[in-house]
Structure 1
Amino acid sequence: MLPPRPIPGIALPEPDSSRPTSPDTATIAPAPNTPMAHSALPLVPFNSARDALRAWMRDSSAGDQVGAVRALEYAASQGHLTAQYKLGRMYAGGEGVPTNDLKAFEYFSKIADENADAIPGTADGRMVGSAFVALGSYFIDGIKGSYVKPNPDRAFDMFNYAASYFGDPDGQYNLARLYMKGQGTARDPRQAARWMKLAAEKGHAPARAAFGEMLLRGGEGVPRQPVLGLMWLALARESADPAREAWILERNDAAFASASPADRTAALALVERQQVATGASPSRGAGRP
């Protein structure tokens, strides 16, 4: 089985490059008739959401985490997308605040509800696409002790929208996993391979490894192409994070160990060709002597 991708993280734009927001935007709140997820910190008055983001950067640099969170809460209450996304990430990962998946879920929901038509490829579009992926991840398992219950159908919807509209590689990878397992949709190995390939072509390391294994195995509508499979596994190994994605290194090493010398040589030649085409620096490993 393939591990899910964690709640995604992307580089945030600087406050001055963020889109302007209206001071009349409603403050964030849980959906009607649902339990209150949290009591917001007191909102400190600022002249604008942009001023609050500058205060967040200043307080963060000074080590004032309480002040930084209050500034972000104010900007988020004014509908500032970057602040909402940052808070969602913080509560999802416990970054400077206690981990609170329900708070994270509500911030990501706010983003998805109000920005589903953001332009793909823009800074806003990347954050909104990541928010949809995060929601899909929460719908897979639900949030214990909350009104967010496991809902594979909703997870499929979230990943599918992130993958198809925003072209988000995390969304494409997770959508492929659902097609592989038949979770939230009918099992479809061909669709799984299609979405996995799209994510792999964007440099997504887990997708590269998974697509490589699909080509190594073949079957169920996916042609067996061992050389290409080894190539994708080698590319995955070189772009993987060894601390978080040790499984990629293990599967690459096992595949190369069992491959024929001719297939290994041909695969490494393809890897070098890819590196030349993309301007990447060749690296050792992935079956290299």
Structure 2
Amino acid sequence: MQIVQPRLALIGAAALLAATMLAPGPTIAFDGTPQSAENADKTPLQIFKNPEAALRAGLEDFRSGDSRSGLQALKYAAAGGESLARWKLAKMYADGDGVPQDDEKAYDYFEQIVDNYDEDNSSAREEAVVSSAFVAVGAYSLTGIANSKVAADPMRALEMFQYAATNFGNADAQYDLARMYLDGVGVNKDAGQAARWLHLAAEKNHAEAQALLGQLLFTGREGVARQRGLGLMWLSLAQQSSGQDKKNQWIADLYQKANAAASDTDKQIAALYLSDFKKRH
């Protein structure tokens, strides 16, 4: 079976924040620690009423193109416990977007979100951010980060993916968890368990999950009964969902191979399943 390499799956997040008035507050340095006037950066640092106000200011600064002030404000907000600020900074460092690419710093910010999450005192607006952070920490833990303190730890990756998959219904986590069962990384190989997680993600239009589920069903495997028509349907959906991005060429290849091997009956059954899927979605 063709399996793509693990990747850091990140999802978007948004926050609705109540408006507050800005007022003088403590000056915070770029590293998030208090800074006195004597050793302040030559460029004046912004002053914020509270972390929430800093978050709003930082996001607005980035929208207006002021990345330096935006970075300062987000670090203030992150140091004050704002999950969205931590997530934004983590994503910036992971992607090298406006800052030098640094997976270790990205991991640290994602881990802060995970470590400070309290499911008994969480808000709905933070759910996407927290869910994404669990997946990201899992992805980094699965492979480790070269030349850093973050070593490969499949058991922690399994814990992170399971939590996000079960508690948040996160499709990326469900897919990554399925991959662990397919590859036998951190767990015993179990195609049946993998298929169950893939199905949950595939129903959410997760293209990679649809492709792997389709291949599993089309070819069959120990623990997964062969259902060529249903498998072809999932592969067809995966191809449609994946678009023209070159990184998804493997999905197109799987579909084309299965379609070439499918009988007319397989294709007719796939069409019926596809019609039913579209009615449900």
Q: TM-score, normalised by structure 1?
A: 0.82
Correspondence for 2:263: 260
Alpha-carbon spacing, 1:116–1:236, altered in 2? closer, same or farther (3 Å): farther
Runs of 4+ with deviation above 4 angstroms: 118-121
Q: What amino acid sits opposite 2:279 in the alignment?
A: V
Q: Quick one: percent identity of the two aligned structures?
A: 41
1:154-190 C-alpha deviation (Å, 9 max, x unpaired): 1111111111222111111001111111111111111
Correspondence for 2:204: 202
Q: Is the Cα contact below 8 Å between 1:119 and 1:125 reproduced in 2?
A: no
Q: C-alpha displacement at 1:241, in angstroms?
A: 3.9
State which structure, 1 or 2, has the greater radius of gyration over its C-alpha atoms: 2
Q: What amino acid sits opposite 1:105 in the alignment?
A: Y
Correspondence for 1:237: 239
**SS of equivalent residue, structure 1 residue 186:** coil
Correspondence for 1:130: 132
Q: C-alpha displacement at 1:193, in angstroms?
A: 1.0
Alpha-carbon spacing, 1:277–1:193, altered in 2? closer, same or farther (3 Å): closer
Choose from 244, 265, 270 the match for 2:273: 270
Task: Specify every segment of 5 or more residues in structure 2 that has no aligned partner in the other structure, as ranges.
Answer: 20-24, 32-42
**SS of equivalent residue, structure 1 residue 91:** helix
In the alignment, the residues of structure 2 paired with residue 121 and residue 193 of structure 1 have an alpha-carbon distance, to the nearest angstrom, of 32
Q: C-alpha displacement at 1:62, in angstroms?
A: 2.5
Q: C-alpha displacement at 1:119, in angstroms?
A: 8.0
Alpha-carbon spacing, 1:84–1:247, altered in 2? closer, same or farther (3 Å): same
Q: What amino acid sits opposite 2:256 in the alignment?
A: D
Q: How does 1:64-103 map to 2 (within 5 A)?
A: 64-103=66-105
1:201-251 C-alpha deviation (Å, 9 max, x unpaired): 111110011111110111311111000001111111111143132221221
Alpha-carbon spacing, 1:123–1:256, altered in 2? closer, same or farther (3 Å): farther
Q: What amino acid sits opposite 2:129 in the alignment?
A: M
Q: What amino acid sits opposite 2:263 in the alignment?
A: S
Correspondence for 1:35: none
Q: Is the Cα contact below 8 Å between 2:30 and 2:76 reproduced in 1?
A: no
Q: C-alpha displacement at 1:125, in angstroms?
A: 2.0
After the TM superposition, which of the residue ranges 155-164 and 175-184 deviates more from structure 2? 155-164
Q: Is the Cα contact below 8 Å between 1:121 and 1:166 reproduced in 2?
A: no
Q: What amino acid sits opposite 2:77 in the alignment?
A: A
Choose from 239, 247, 250 the match for 2:250: 247
- Count of residue pairs the alignment pairs up: 261
1:63-103 C-alpha deviation (Å, 9 max, x unpaired): 11111111111111110111111111111111221111011
Q: Is the Cα contact below 8 Å between 2:55 and 2:82 reproduced in 1?
A: no
Alpha-carbon spacing, 1:51–1:119, altered in 2? closer, same or farther (3 Å): closer
Alpha-carbon spacing, 1:69–1:115, altered in 2? closer, same or farther (3 Å): same
1:49-72 C-alpha deviation (Å, 9 max, x unpaired): 232122223321321111111111
Q: Is the Cα contact below 8 Å between 2:142 and 2:157 reproduced in 1?
A: yes
Alpha-carbon spacing, 1:47–1:255, altered in 2? closer, same or farther (3 Å): same
Alpha-carbon spacing, 1:223–1:95, altered in 2? closer, same or farther (3 Å): same
Task: Specify every segment of 5 or more residues in structure 1 that has no aligned partner in the other structure, as ranges.
Answer: 18-22, 30-40, 279-289
Q: Is the Cα contact below 8 Å between 2:16 and 2:125 reproduced in 1?
A: no
Alpha-carbon spacing, 1:165–1:75, altered in 2? closer, same or farther (3 Å): same
Q: C-alpha displacement at 1:253, in angstroms?
A: 1.7
In the alignment, the residues of structure 2 paired with residue 12 and residue 203 of structure 1 have an alpha-carbon distance, to the nearest angstrom, of 21
**SS of equivalent residue, structure 1 residue 245:** helix
Correspondence for 1:222: 224
RMSD (Å), alpha carbons: 2.7
Q: C-alpha displacement at 1:9, in angstroms?
A: 1.9
In the alignment, the residues of structure 1 paired with residue 118 and residue 239 of structure 2 have an alpha-carbon distance, to the nearest angstrom, of 34
Correspondence for 1:164: 166
Q: What amino acid sits opposite 1:2 in the alignment?
A: I
Correspondence for 2:37: none
Q: What amino acid sits opposite 2:173 in the alignment?
A: G
Q: Is the Cα contact below 8 Å between 2:141 and 2:151 reproduced in 1?
A: yes
